[in-house]
Chain A
Amino acid sequence: MKNNKTAKTKYRFFGIPLLFPYLKPYTPNLLRLLIFAALGGICEIIFPLFQQYAINNFVYGVETISAIAGQLTKFTVIYLITLIAYSVFNVISAYAACEIELYTARDLKNAAFSHLQSLSASYYNNHNVGYIHARVMSDTGRISVVLSWVFIDLMWCITYVVGALISMFMLNAKLAICVAVIVPIAVFISTFFKNKLTDIYHKVREANSVVTGKLNEGITGAKTAKSLVIEDIMQEKFEKSSHNMMKTSVRMAHWRSLYASVFSLISSTAFALVLWRGGIITLNGVMLVGTLSVFLSYVIDLIDRLNNLVGTISNLINSQVNIERFTQLMNTETEVRDTPEVTKRYGGIFNQKRENWEPLHGDIEFDNVTFCYPDGNENVLENFSLKIPQGTNCAIVGETGAGKSTLVNLVCRFFEPTSGRVLIDGKDVRERSLSWLHSNIGYVLQSPHLFTGSIRENLLYGNPNATEEQMINAVKSVSAEGIIERMNGYDANVGEGGDLLSTGEKQLLSFARALICDPRIFILDEATSSIDTITEQKIQNAITVAMQGRTSLVIAHRLSTIRQADIILVVKDGKIIERGTHEQLIEDHGYYFELYLRQFKDEAAKQSLS
């Protein structure tokens, strides 16, 4: 598999270097972020020193206020300036982090999205939409947080830890050594707990997905549960997994609470240590009271920051997964791609050179094609040859899942043959661009897909330059005026994914949408099982209209609809086992004959009852 190659790529420094290209445009922001985060950290080191100064110089040994009035004012002013500077630094670094987070998130999303547009159909076949969606929306979000806030936290904490240690060494080296000893212990304990928590967190997630799955099943299977009277059994099972989830979560809570408590214990032990050693030093007169108080506040903050630092690093480690997933997506190469020469002449998908496009007539030819799906291990076509001249109506039949879509996938160049050629108008499809081919093919899917927006937007989707007249004509020719009327005009919203329309209505509109592009090749994946007879008749008529004068490939589910086809290809277990006209195939007494007979009975009943 191709994925193995990318998986072997080493992710140094948690994969951050892979993101440099996305960070580069924001170098000034990043510099601002790092510098001002460091400055903010330095300010935080300075604040306790004010306290030290005030206690050492004003509180002790001063009799009256007037004696130090001038000094105190100066002190206050300097303090205030530092405070203002600190607040401003914070604003600047936080704003820089916002900018980096939002801009890199935007760029990463755009990059992922446009890369996805260029990927071939096989990618979409192998990955479900939820999975891809998460790559575009959530992974990019997590990565941009790493690039901004994790950077700020790292800078801030490191500056504080290093700075506070230096400051302490300068104030009193002996006491500072006492504090420094605690640092590795705190880091070690924090790391231990973070690892433990990550482990349990995964278990909680697992338990959670079991519960959600059960919940989902309970709701979708409610009817079955009722008719089998298994509500109590299901409830019991649900409560069992629900209980398991609670147990895991409580265990997580135990460790989390223990972690927080142990850390506060380290903090108070360190505090006691400083109080003891510092108290002795102060009593001996080597150190002043103010300095002792500074040490006491440093030690608490220092341990707090160490904890943050470990948390930030563990965040960074956890985000490595997101970075890996994102880069894997970006490294996925499209399997179907125009050669540089073709792109040069006809343009790419984002910059089509329509002026160089030749007209397409509609001759299709499979020339000795052998084909195997990328994830399959068996050839579904072997040395297959077939000519479909311009204007021919070709039907493909077979049971659900038999592999009827293979030929369509090849003609649309969603996939390319393993060997042999697919010719359009006598020329290998690979000699012309994907965009050229696609804009000449009208493709109507089994489950019609409409986009959120108005009817007009949907109709003009493939041909935004079509005139009002073309649009209205297309709607008329598939007898879809009724829909427009019901929805109150072309500007009516179709709802999310066309929710406000029935499947039949969506199908009619998607016919019209394809017709507006006036394609030379029509591809239909026909599905009429869930549609009432009147709509079905309408759709049949629409198909007939749509196909006039065009080459058409029809994937048929109901054999009665394709009796008139010029050629019928019969597919079983992924292979084409019979071909010919309806009459020829019936005469052959083969698989088609069997299929036809089976369907005939069900249809007869339906027909006479409706």
Chain B
Amino acid sequence: MKQKSKTFGRFDMIVYFLKGSTRFFVISVLSSFLLSILQMITPRIVSVTVDSIIGNRPPEYPKIVSMLGGTQFLRENIWVIALISAAVGIVTTAFRYLSSFYNSKGAESLIKNIRDLLFKKVLHLPLAWHMENRTGDIIQRCTTDTETIRSFIADQLTRLLNILILIAVSLFCVFSIHARLALLTLLTIPIVVSYSYIFYKRSSKLFTECDESEGVLSSIAQENLTGSRVVKAFGQEAYEKEKFEKQNDDYTSKWMHLCRLLAVYWGTTDFVAGAQIMLVLVLGTVACINGSLTPGNLISFISYNTMLIWPVRQLGRMISDMSKAGVAVDRIRYIMNSREELDTGAKKAFSAGDIEFKNVSFSYGSCKVLDNISFKLKRGQVLGIVGATGSGKTTIMLLLTRLCTAQSGTITINGTDINDIELGELRKNIGTVMQEPFLFSGTLAENIAITEKEPDPEKIKAVSAVACLEKTVEGFKEKYETIVGERGITLSGGQKQRTAIARMLMLNSPVMVLDDSLSAVDTETDSKIRANLSDSFGGATVFLISHRLTSLMKADTVIVLSDGKITESGSPDSLLEQNGQFAEIYRMQMTLPEELKQIQHVKSDTEVKITDEK
């Protein structure tokens, strides 16, 4: 796969997202252009009716009127005019549908596009990125900010275009009727638009303050509910109530202040719009008396003027709201411009073989996690790793699967540097199970066979048997179709671990890493699983990380990690002989505490063999 290291600018990114949905928006805008023109016809019909059918003036569109049979015919058959008006209505309706539907369709396919692209991007971002960014924040970017961009394009940008078209078309109409009167219409537009623009721009700070105050109120409630036990335990209900009510008052008074302004704003715009309509009526009447305007044209002029005034009132607010989208665009750009997991471009296939760590070091930030680690593991052998929390055990797994990249040193499998192996290929061949495995929502079968497109139920059963999961599953009513996770049953830690092992086994990988992944399973099942593993997957190279030394006694090699360094390594027996840390832990685990010594029948559980086959 080629690495796309493209960085998006604001504009580029929107264009990129718009791929596939542009045509819908184009259809929508074109339809709304036609819609605007069609809407202009009805007032013309009314004016001809009033002036030439009801009145006696020569018709404004003589050709059309004579085509319809002349004024006299129409006078006797006024239904023809009504029918034409209704027909125009039907055509208008069709375009109204097209304009509205395609705008929404464009919006939906746009948001789908953004959603899918973001999801894909997030999946391919490196683990380090996921650790640096809070889940809640990423989700918010993928949902709320995406929604903002959608509404910017589908509600604001296209609506703006539609409104501008409508204004242009109706201005054209009013000017063609009576230019001087039309100037009055034209003049009000900048006044109303700039008034509302300035109002919303100015009050945007107040809107933000209200939102912030609400945020505080909301988090007070949130904290109170999360900490309800603390509140009760300290008997601080009254204090909490007071705190909430105080903030609630603050929030309410902030909004009240804004409402006062809003009410005045609404009142004044109502007045300005109304006054303009009034002036058109009065001056139009005067023009009629002067003879420069016919009554029918006055009526249609008023209709055009009314059509125009409402969109004009919206315009100012829309323009001032549009600036908000910029923030959302930047927040999404942050994700889209993050670097994806490095693939060095090398496409070597994975071939199983000896695994070697050579002078590998890794630091997380300024903290050294692995310090010059070297070891070699023969194909088919089992490597046991012991170490305290934070000693770097898990990091070995992360480096081996290239979830993290070592700062220095090399890791080779069958002599090939893992950086030269295709990433997916590498990971598929190294099956890993983590200590706290993550299960996806869905059925048990879906979880176990998540790596397969067409899962084979027999195989699912087989791997479950190896992971000692079979009996547990048989205990469920729905067997393998039992839903796990939020909507289904909650599995215990041990059940989760065993499910994760079964899931890993589906991959049939030649290399397996079990990262403390039997910690929640009792010792008997632990040894049984290990025995099953060596029976069914005996040829695999295994990394076994565990606290229980009994689990490691049959490993070919054991390394002891301490503060990122290997302090001891060798076969378990030789380590016991060395009488170092390993031996000490072993003794502590095997020897009973003083107080228990007198008790005779403590079961020993050292008899488990994992590597017997070899």
Q: Give which listed residue, A58, A90, A213, A230, contacts B267 with CB less than 8 A.
A: A90
How far is it, in angstroms, between the C-alpha of A150 and the C-alpha of B89 when the chains are bound? 31
Asked if B602 is at the interface of the complex by the 8 Å CB criterion, the answer is yes
B89 near A600 with CB under 8 A, answer no
Query: What is the interface of chain B mostly: helix, strand, loop, or mixed?
Result: helix
A215 near B143 with CB under 8 A, answer yes
Q: Give which listed residue, B105, B234, B260, B522, contacts A462 with CB less than 8 A.
A: B234
**Which of A60, A233, A253 has the largest number of chain B CB atoms within 10 A?**
A253
Asked if B231 is at the interface of the complex by the 8 Å CB criterion, the answer is yes
Asked if B565 is at the interface of the complex by the 8 Å CB criterion, the answer is no
**A residues less than 8 Å from B519 (CB atoms):** 602
Which residues of chain A from 205 to 238 have a CB within 8 Å of any chain B CB?
Answer: 211-213, 215-231, 233-235, 238
**B residues less than 8 Å from A350 (CB atoms):** 237-238, 241
How far is it, in angstroms, between the C-alpha of A51 and the C-alpha of B285 when the chains are bound? 9
Asked if B93 is at the interface of the complex by the 8 Å CB criterion, the answer is yes
How far is it, in angstroms, between the C-alpha of A10 and the C-alpha of B233 when the chains are bound? 37
**B residues less than 8 Å from A103 (CB atoms):** 252
Asked if B453 is at the interface of the complex by the 8 Å CB criterion, the answer is yes
Which residues of chain B from 140 to 167 have a CB within 8 Å of any chain A CB?
Answer: 142-143
B94 near A110 with CB under 8 A, answer no
B75 near A461 with CB under 8 A, answer no
Task: Give A384 Cβ to nearest chain B Cβ, in Å.
Answer: 23
Q: Give which listed residue, B81, B229, B268, B522, contacts A276 with CB less than 8 A.
A: B81
How far is it, in angstroms, between the C-alpha of A103 and the C-alpha of B248 when the chains are bound? 10
Q: From B424, which residue of chain A is reached at the shortest CB distance? A: A229
Task: Give B520 Cβ to nearest chain A Cβ, in Å.
Answer: 10
Stretch at the interface among B183-191, B287-295, B465-473: B287-295
Asked if B88 is at the interface of the complex by the 8 Å CB criterion, the answer is yes
Which residues of chain B from 212 to 230 have a CB within 8 Å of any chain A CB?
Answer: 217-219, 221-230
Q: Give which listed residue, A133, A215, A272, A296, contacts B222 with CB less than 8 A.
A: A133
Stretch at the interface among B174-182, B372-380, B581-589: B581-589
Q: From A444, which residue of chain B is reached at the shortest CB distance? A: B233
Task: Give A282 Cβ to nearest chain B Cβ, in Å.
Answer: 5
Task: Give B386 Cβ to nearest chain A Cβ, in Å.
Answer: 7
Which residues of chain B from 57 to 112 have a CB within 8 Å of any chain A CB?
Answer: 75, 78-79, 81-83, 85-86, 88-90, 92-94, 96-97, 100-101, 104-105, 107-109, 111-112
How far is it, in angstroms, between the C-alpha of A282 and the C-alpha of B75 when the chains are bound? 11
Given contacts A98-B256, A262-B93, A412-B233, contact A608 B581 (CB under 8 A): yes
B286 near A223 with CB under 8 A, answer no
Asked if B537 is at the interface of the complex by the 8 Å CB criterion, the answer is no
Task: Give A77 Cβ to nearest chain B Cβ, in Å.
Answer: 11
A133 near B225 with CB under 8 A, answer yes
- Number of B residues whose C-beta is below 8 Å from A? 149
Which residues of chain B from 379 to 437 have a CB within 8 Å of any chain A CB?
Answer: 386-391, 401, 403, 424, 427-428, 430, 432, 434, 437
A212 near B143 with CB under 8 A, answer yes
A72 near B285 with CB under 8 A, answer yes
**B residues less than 8 Å from A106 (CB atoms):** 248-249, 251-252
B230 near A226 with CB under 8 A, answer no
Q: Give which listed residue, A55, A65, A216, A235, contacts B120 with CB less than 8 A.
A: A235
Given contacts A289-B50, A349-B237, contact A91 B267 (CB under 8 A): yes
**A residues less than 8 Å from B108 (CB atoms):** 246, 249-250, 253
A260 near B100 with CB under 8 A, answer yes
Given contacts A95-B260, A243-B112, A349-B238, contact A275 B82 (CB under 8 A): yes
Interface string of B286-316 (1 = CB under 8 A from A): 1011100001001100110000000000000
Q: From B595, which residue of chain A is reached at the shortest CB distance? A: A586
Given contacts A55-B295, A249-B104, A275-B85, contact A264 B438 (CB under 8 A): no
How far is it, in angstroms, between the C-alpha of A461 and the C-alpha of B282 when the chains are bound? 70
A352 near B89 with CB under 8 A, answer no
Task: Give B302 Cβ to nearest chain A Cβ, in Å.
Answer: 7
Q: From B114, which residue of chain A is reached at the shortest CB distance? A: A242
Q: From B561, which residue of chain A is reached at the shortest CB distance? A: A609
How far is it, in angstroms, between the C-alpha of A289 and the C-alpha of B302 when the chains are bound? 14
Q: From B123, which residue of chain A is reached at the shortest CB distance? A: A231
Asked if B478 is at the interface of the complex by the 8 Å CB criterion, the answer is no
B116 near A242 with CB under 8 A, answer yes
B89 near A264 with CB under 8 A, answer yes
**B residues less than 8 Å from A11 (CB atoms):** none
Q: Give which listed residue, A63, A90, A462, contacts B236 with CB less than 8 A.
A: A462
Asked if A298 is at the interface of the complex by the 8 Å CB criterion, the answer is no
How many A-B residue contacts, CB cutoff 8 Å? 407
B298 near A451 with CB under 8 A, answer no
Asked if A544 is at the interface of the complex by the 8 Å CB criterion, the answer is no
B88 near A83 with CB under 8 A, answer no
**B residues less than 8 Å from A83 (CB atoms):** 271, 274-275, 278
Given contacts A449-B230, A606-B547, A610-B388, contact A215 B119 (CB under 8 A): yes
A72 near B233 with CB under 8 A, answer no
Which residues of chain A from 51 to 96 have a CB within 8 Å of any chain B CB?
Answer: 51, 54-55, 58-60, 62-65, 68, 72, 75-76, 79-80, 83-84, 86-88, 90-91, 94-95
**A residues less than 8 Å from B507 (CB atoms):** 228
Given contacts A226-B427, A496-B219, A583-B595, contact A91 B96 (CB under 8 A): no
Asked if A261 is at the interface of the complex by the 8 Å CB criterion, the answer is yes
Given contacts A65-B286, A220-B135, A234-B123, contact A87 B270 (CB under 8 A): yes
Asked if A597 is at the interface of the complex by the 8 Å CB criterion, the answer is yes
Asked if A435 is at the interface of the complex by the 8 Å CB criterion, the answer is yes
Q: From A40, which residue of chain B is reached at the shortest CB distance? A: B270
A227 near B223 with CB under 8 A, answer no
Q: From B546, which residue of chain A is reached at the shortest CB distance? A: A605
Asked if A25 is at the interface of the complex by the 8 Å CB criterion, the answer is no
How far is it, in angstroms, between the C-alpha of A251 and the C-alpha of B389 when the chains are bound? 54
Asked if A137 is at the interface of the complex by the 8 Å CB criterion, the answer is yes
A279 near B282 with CB under 8 A, answer no
Asked if B201 is at the interface of the complex by the 8 Å CB criterion, the answer is no
A414 near B232 with CB under 8 A, answer yes
Asked if A258 is at the interface of the complex by the 8 Å CB criterion, the answer is yes
Q: Give which listed residue, B81, B85, B226, contacts A497 with CB less than 8 A.
A: B226
A609 near B241 with CB under 8 A, answer no
B233 near A228 with CB under 8 A, answer no
**A residues less than 8 Å from B289 (CB atoms):** 58-59, 62-65, 68
**A residues less than 8 Å from B522 (CB atoms):** 598
Asked if B139 is at the interface of the complex by the 8 Å CB criterion, the answer is yes
Q: Give which listed residue, A72, A114, A609, contacts B585 with CB less than 8 A.
A: A609
**A residues less than 8 Å from B281 (CB atoms):** 50-51, 54, 79
Asked if A201 is at the interface of the complex by the 8 Å CB criterion, the answer is no
Asked if A1 is at the interface of the complex by the 8 Å CB criterion, the answer is no
Task: Give A2 Cβ to nearest chain B Cβ, in Å.
Answer: 19
Interface string of A349-366 (1 = CB under 8 A from B): 111100000000000000
**A residues less than 8 Å from B241 (CB atoms):** 110, 113-114, 117, 350
**A residues less than 8 Å from B227 (CB atoms):** 449, 451
For this complex, 19 residue pairs linking A to B, each with C-beta atoms less than 8 Å apart, are A76-B282, A109-B217, A137-B221, A217-B441, A219-B138, A227-B401, A228-B427, A230-B451, A250-B105, A253-B107, A261-B96, A264-B93, A268-B88, A275-B45, A289-B295, A293-B50, A412-B233, A449-B227, A604-B588
Closest 9 CB pairs of A and B: A268-B89, A253-B104, A276-B82, A462-B234, A443-B233, A98-B259, A604-B588, A91-B267, A609-B388
Known contacts A98-B262, A292-B50, A605-B549; 9 further A-B pairs (Cβ under 8 A):
A95-B260, A114-B241, A253-B100, A253-B101, A257-B100, A268-B86, A275-B81, A438-B233, A608-B584
Measured CB to CB, the residues of A under 8 A from B are 47, 50-51, 54-55, 58-60, 62-65, 68, 72, 75-76, 79-80, 83-84, 86-88, 90-91, 94-95, 98-99, 102-103, 105-106, 109-110, 113-114, 116-118, 121, 124, 129, 132-133, 136-137, 211-213, 215-231, 233-235, 238-239, 242-243, 245-246, 249-250, 252-254, 256-258, 260-262, 264-265, 267-269, 271-273, 275-276, 279-280, 282-283, 289, 292-293, 296-297, 349-352, 412, 414, 434-435, 438-439, 441, 443, 445, 449, 451-452, 461-462, 464, 496-497, 517, 532, 583, 586, 589, 596-598, 600-602, 604-610
